[in-house]
Amino acid sequence: MFAMAGALAGLLLAGCVSSSRTEGDYREKVANTAQAVRSSIETARLLAGAAGEGKAPGPYTSRTLSQLESAVGSVSTQFGSVQPPTREATALRGDVISLLDEVQGVLSQLRIAARQSRLQVLPRLAKPLPGLSERLRRFEELVPT
C-alpha cells in the first residue's frame, strides 16, 4: 500500500514539471503566461481605481485582490516549473520570473491595503501596474499571432 502511494506521489510530482522541447514551444509558454498575468494586472488596476473613488466596496475589493494575487502566484509557479530547452530560454525565464515577482509584490501591497480598509491609497499603490502590463505585453509578442 505504501509502495503504491509512494509511486503515485512520484508520478504526480513528475507531472508537475513540464518541459519545452523547442525554443518556439517555450516562447509560446512565455507568451501565454504573460497574457494570463496581464489580465490579472488590468483587473487589479481597474479595481484599485474604482475602490479609491469609493465605487467598489472594501470586502469585494479585498477578496478580489486576494484572488488575483493567488491567480498570479499559480501562473508563476506553473511557469517556473517549465524546463527551458536552451541557455537563451533560461535567460528569458529569469526575466519573466523577475517580472512576475514584481507583479506579485504590487498585488500583495494592494491586497494588504484593502484588507486594512485603506482603499484611498490603492490608486497610488497601483501606479506601477500599467508599466508592468506593458513589459508583459512585450513577452506576448514573442509568438506571432
User: Phi-psi region for residue 56, left (φ > 0), alpha (ψ -120 to 50) or beta?
Assistant: beta
What is the value of pTM for the model shown?
0.85
Classified by CATH at the fold level, domain 22-138 comes out as: Four Helix Bundle (Hemerythrin (Met), subunit A) (1.20.120)
Q: What pLDDT is stored for residue 142 in this prediction?
A: 86
Contact by Cβ (8 Å): 38, 137: yes
pLDDT value, residue 143: 80
Question: How far apart, in whole angstroms, are the C-alpha atoms of residue 88 and residue 84?
Answer: 8
CA distance 90 to 87: 5
Q: What pLDDT is stored for residue 145 in this prediction?
A: 65
Could you tell me the mean pLDDT of each successive run of 10 residues in the chain, 145 residues long?
38 50 94 97 98 98 98 97 96 98 98 98 99 97 79
| Cα 111–Cα 117–Cα 118 angle in degrees, nearest 5 | 80
Q: How far apart are CA 138 and CA 131, in angstroms?
A: 11
